[in-house]
């Protein structure tokens, strides 16, 4: 069985936060503090409690960071945080070696308590998401000399539940709070390439589309709507049917590509070949956002706010924006040209990374004024 251990509360570093209003908007931009000896840090996600997670880079292997709403940077140990749920549980994956034998181990951190959720005998483990119940779908290999993910399981209720799936290239990509898991299979040499949905330990295939590429799923919401990509097409599954949202587009990566209203975000390519940030409203026609391209939408919250970036001014320097009720707001930077957003919550807090005036990459939080009541 996996090991569970309790460790002392991780080192918390509270430094003066650098805050400033973004020009021309009701936006407060905050530089999140790093860890001693780790000058570069990036964010990964934020929950509705205002807790932010990310990774610090510098002396030695990368370390996970948990930023509290009050501004404390908590060292959560070696590895890379992948996701945070609404309870503040953080999924972290640590690479134990860069050359064979390949060992990659996941764990769950919460307020100093750490649970190792590595399957018995596993080498390389792939785990990217955690739901509100602390459930983590994963794929893993028992080979000591390779990284091919051959089996699938869900960490649920303090133990691993095995899914009836095995393949050298097996992916579990998303889980909703009801515990429904979705992913895809890619045979090594021959056979079907398909996406699947698993409820409990029963898995069924999702409807297929023509093409030769593998499916890449991004998200599933509580209504069971699934979104993803294949062969340059943005796809949406609902019930037993699949819809091509765009024949020349892509759904954003990660769980915030889809919200509980059924809105989907990503990118489409216009007639001149320029990538445009795009919203597919639930039940509505696609909306190309009023943002100069190249641009992409990376997240949508349950209130319909869209987070994204544009590199129209400089192809090497993305610029973060928030799109709300048909209006675009530039979020600003820490003084440098680069500001790349990654996630937002339902309270108007967005997170990402930005360069300072001297070019150092820092984790950043944008707080966008919002007088709309939460529901």
Instruction: For tokens 């569970």, name the residue.
Output: 4
In the three-class reduction of DSSP (H, G, I as helix; E, B as strand; rest coil), residue 255 is classed as helix
Joined tokens for residue 9: 């509360």
The closest of 129, 142, 138 to 174, measured between CA atoms, is: 129
In degrees, rounded to 5, the angle at the alpha carbon of residue 183 between the alpha carbons of residues 181 and 189 is 150
The closest of 334, 312, 307, 333 to 322, measured between CA atoms, is: 307
Output the pLDDT for position 149: 62
The closest of 83, 93, 48 to 69, measured between CA atoms, is: 48
Question: Per residue of the chain (375 residues), what is the pLDDT tens digit?
Answer: 333 333 333 344 433 344 555 544 589 999 999 899 998 899 999 999 999 999 999 888 999 999 999 889 999 999 999 999 999 999 999 987 655 567 889 999 999 999 999 999 888 899 999 999 999 999 998 875 555 668 999 999 999 999 998 777 889 999 999 999 999 987 666 667 899 999 998 999 999 999 888 899 999 999 999 999 999 999 999 999 999 999 999 999 999 999 999 999 999 999 999 999 999 999 889 999 999 999 999 999 999 999 999 999 998 999 999 999 999 999 999 999 999 999 999 999 999 999 999 998 899 999 998 767 665
The closest of 25, 54, 39, 120 to 340, measured between CA atoms, is: 54
Joined tokens for residue 245: 């949202």
The closest of 345, 343, 344, 341 to 353, measured between CA atoms, is: 341
Rg over alpha carbons for the chain, rounded to the nearest Å, is 20
The helix/strand count (H/E) of the chain reads as 0, 35
Instruction: For tokens 């510098």, name the residue.
Output: 58
Output the pLDDT for position 195: 95
Output the pLDDT for position 12: 43
Beta bridge partners of 314: none
Q: Which residues contact 55 (CB under 8 A, 6 or more apart)?
A: 41, 42, 44, 62, 63, 64, 65, 80, 81
Instruction: For tokens 């990310």, name the residue.
Output: 54
Distance, in Å, from the CA atom of 101 to the CA atom of 319, rounded to the nearest integer, reads: 40
Indicate whether this model's pTM tops 0.75.
Answer: yes
Q: Do the beta carbons of residue 83 and residue 132 sit within 8 Å?
A: no
Distance, in Å, from the CA atom of 294 to the CA atom of 312, rounded to the nearest integer, reads: 6
């Amino acid at each position: 069985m996996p090991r569970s251990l309790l460790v002392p509360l991780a080192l918390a570093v509270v430094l003066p936060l650098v805050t400033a209003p973004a020009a021309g908007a009701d936006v407060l931009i905050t530089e999140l503090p790093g860890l001693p000896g780790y000058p570069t840090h990036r964010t990964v996600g934020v929950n509705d409690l205002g807790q932010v997670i990310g990774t610090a880079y510098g002396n030695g292997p990368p370390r996970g960071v948990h930023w509290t709403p009050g501004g404390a940077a908590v060292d959560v140990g070696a590895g890379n945080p992948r996701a945070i749920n609404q309870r503040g549980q953080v999924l972290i994956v640590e690479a134990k070696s860069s050359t064979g034998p390949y060992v990659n181990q996941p764990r769950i951190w919460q307020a100093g308590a750490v649970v190792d959720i590595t399957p018995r005998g596993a080498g390389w483990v792939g785990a990217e998401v955690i739901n509100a119940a602390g459930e983590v779908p994963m794929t893993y290999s028992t080979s000591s000399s390779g990284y091919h993910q051959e089996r699938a399981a869900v960490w649920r209720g303090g133990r691993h539940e095995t899914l009836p799936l095995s393949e050298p290239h097996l992916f579990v990509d998303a889980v909703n709070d009801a515990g429904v898991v979705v992913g895809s299979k890619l045979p090594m040499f021959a056979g079907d390439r398909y996406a699947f949905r698993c409820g409990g330990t029963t898995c069924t295939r999702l409807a297929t589309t023509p093409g030769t590429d593998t499916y890449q799923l991004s998200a599933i919401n509580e209504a069971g709507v699934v979104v993803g990509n294949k062969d340059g097409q943005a796809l949406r599954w609902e019930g037993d049917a699949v819809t091509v949202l765009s024949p020349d587009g892509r759904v954003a990566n990660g769980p915030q590509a889809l919200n509980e209203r059924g809105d989907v975000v990503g990118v489409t390519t216009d007639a001149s070949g320029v990538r445009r940030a795009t919203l597919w409203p639930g039940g509505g026609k696609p909306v190309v956002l009023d943002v100069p391209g190249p641009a992409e939408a990376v997240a949508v919250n349950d209130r319909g706010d869209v987070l994204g970036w544009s590199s129209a001014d400089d192809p090497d320097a993305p610029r973060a924006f928030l799109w709300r009720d048909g209006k675009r707001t530039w979020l600003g930077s820490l003084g440098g040209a680069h500001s790349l957003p990654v996630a937002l919550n339902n309270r108007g807090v967005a997170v990402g990374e930005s360069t300072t005036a001297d070019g150092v990459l820092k984790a950043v939080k944008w707080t966008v004024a919002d007088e709309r009541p939460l529901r």
